A and B are shown apart, each in its own frame.
Chain A
Amino acid sequence: MQHGEVHITSYRAHGVILVLLLFLTAITITITWVDAGSFSVGVAMLVACVKATLVLFYFMHLKFDALVFKVFAGMVFFLLAVVFVVTFFDYLFR
């Protein structure tokens, strides 16, 4: 028993997301081809984050799920980010 309306994502919506994802993949590849360096890694990671968000929100239905799931996911990614930052307190200031 699902609570409230069950959200049905249309086939088309899935298709659109896939096209977006493929497009972003193409961007990453070209960017890193054109200009190697720390800049392109930053962009590649940024694009990867966008892609991940798309997968989370649409393929994994997070957008249409109850609030708790969004809060949980937000919390986990925040935690992961903070752990990275705090670890790099060591490596950046040596």
Chain B
Amino acid sequence: MDLTFDATEAQFRDELRDWLSTNGPGPEPEGEDEQYAWRRDWQRKLHDGGWAGVHWPVEYGGRGATMVESAIFYEELARSGHPLPANVLGLLLGGPTLMVWGTPEQKDRYLNPILSAEEIWCQGFSEPEAGSDFAAVKTRAVEQADGSFLVTGQKVWTSGAQYSKWCMLVARTDFDAAKHKGLTYFLMDMDQPEVQVRPLKQITGEAEFNELFIEDARIPAENVIGGVGNGWKVALTTLMNERAGLAFGLQVRLRVMLDELTEIAASSGQIEDPRVADTLGELHLRCEILRLTAYRGLTATMKYGQPGPEGSLTKWMWSETNQMLTQFAADVVGPEALTMGTKWSYELLRARGNTIEGGTTEILKNIVAERVLGLPKAR
């Protein structure tokens, strides 16, 4: 057991810190489009510095970093206060999925533009009626005489859709096959009028996500990933990669916020109230347990190929702790935390989504009960 970074890891971290301290995206501009362009430029910078596909194999243009180094990357990025690269879904989900399921031609064609942020990717899994239930996917892809597919349907929670070239789309190709079986995984070109993007405004007032309205969009045969009818398995690969590294960044963001809150409580004297200190103590405890548990999961994954029981817990821990923290901030920070346009009020509202996005806490608990504890499937 060694809970420090070894020499290689420490060197990686130091090199990265150095780089991040002298390289950055510059000041954040006003306006959503401008901010996206700024994050795209930032990814180009990262790419030029060799920091874009940290965990990608060298053969695909990545840095070939270990999982720990990848975790360090997202931790340090969060600590630096710099934003995530624009094409985060391509880097974390699309690329790794292609590496498993793509043909040599597909890898050649798609991987490099992901790294360079030349082509942005988005994810088209969720549907309004389907929620967490993949079997209920209704978007239809009908094969044409020329082997291409015509797709019609609606997708939701598609972040970055308005900037994306490619959408990882799961659609139904076999309408008779039961549940998961008739699904196929496509790469859909977003540059066609048959795909309409409508921003989906959230509780925060921002439109971080979009709805996609697809009507007879065309996808050529060569854009099927992993074979027709195999969409469920391919999608699972994507889902397994979801947040794998990102979790470390989220955890550090939480820690940074908590430290800031602690600072406010200390400088305002509120920390002298044992009730305030008690809640801060609980938050620090949860935050630290989250970090440790994430690393335990990482070690298990590296050693045994999959995380141990603790691996299923980190997203649940993070989301609950973040909600607890942002709610508590409303008490400690005071009126500012309930005033529009402040960081604290944004975080308070945004945190509500944490226990929903990327699998609701209820679904995560089902998964823990069934897959980790081996209980019979919930009824």
Q: Please indicate whether A and B come from the same complex rather than being unrelated chains.
A: no
